[in-house]
Amino acid sequence: MPDNSIEYLTPREVAARLASDTPPRIIDVREVWEYDIAHLPNSTLVPLSTLPGVADGLDRDVTYALLCHHGMRSEMAARWMAQHGFTRLINIDGGIDAWSDDVDPSLPRY
């Protein structure tokens, strides 16, 4: 069942929003070792398994763009956040792998 509080955007669409006056905050839900290989500037690492423990400290009035390797863990995170009162969520389709292909080829792929 689709959740209307989650937008599914391509890396290029998210990159455009990051350049806007109201950029989303990027939450990277991958593991530390993945983040160490490649990550987006100004992203915040919150491994998926730790999300429930930090969610109460997140501002529910902010738009969050969720990122993982290919988009599956970030979708799980977005769905979990939507179920817990967050209403401004973006799942970055294709994850950091697609970001490397479409936006920043200097990012290492793994």
Name beta bridge partners: 28: 45, 67
In this structure, are residues 17 and 23 in contact, taking their beta carbons and an 8 Å threshold?
yes
Phi-psi region of 105 (alpha: psi -120 to 50; beta: other; left: phi over 0): alpha
Q: What tokens appear for 23 in the block?
A: 């950029």
53 given a catalytic annotation: no
Across 29-74, where does the E strand assignment appear?
Answer: 44-45, 64-67
Given 27, 40, 51, 68, the catalytic residue:
68
List active site positions.
Answer: 68
